[in-house]
Amino acid sequence: MTGAGSEEEPKTEEKETEEKGKAPVVVLTADTFENSISRDYTFIKFYAPWCGHCKRLAPTWDQLAVKMVSNPSIKVAKVDCTENDNRPLCSKEGVSGFPTIFLYHDGDKVTEYEGNRSLDDMANFLKSNMKPAAKDEL
């Protein structure tokens, strides 16, 4: 019987590793927010864990992060607005409902995403809102 108990522990660790491996969503807090959005593109979901719409969006958000991992100029991130330290941040960013999704570029808010919450629609939104790197700025 002691063997069964020791078998469950690795399963829990394995599950956590799988979850970390499959969803490269960056978890932001009030402390890490400014630095994270300061360069390139950051697509952020502001959410509450109890929110039904947020729960339904979570798997698609994870899939979007996986899909975007090959593009180094975009981060897919999330902020839990129910955590005490994050509440002022969510308020400052204009979050009034959950989920609220904003795209940031080089520290500035570009736009709010208000489209369909399908993987393809969100990926297409990112592609259409990302400016190609300007090669001839000089």
Catalytic residue annotation: 51-54
Task: Give the angle 18-24-27 at the CA atoms, nearest 5°.
Answer: 110
Cβ atoms 118, 84 nearer than 8 A = no
CB count in 10 Å sphere of residue 86: 20
Dihedrals phi, psi of 40, to nearest 5 degrees: 65, -160
Cβ atoms 102, 113 nearer than 8 A = yes
Q: Of 19, 34, 131, 118, which Cα lies nearest the Cα of 74?
A: 131
Task: Write out the two tokens for 27.
Answer: 């978890």
When computed from its CA atoms, the radius of gyration of the chain, rounded to whole angstroms, is 17
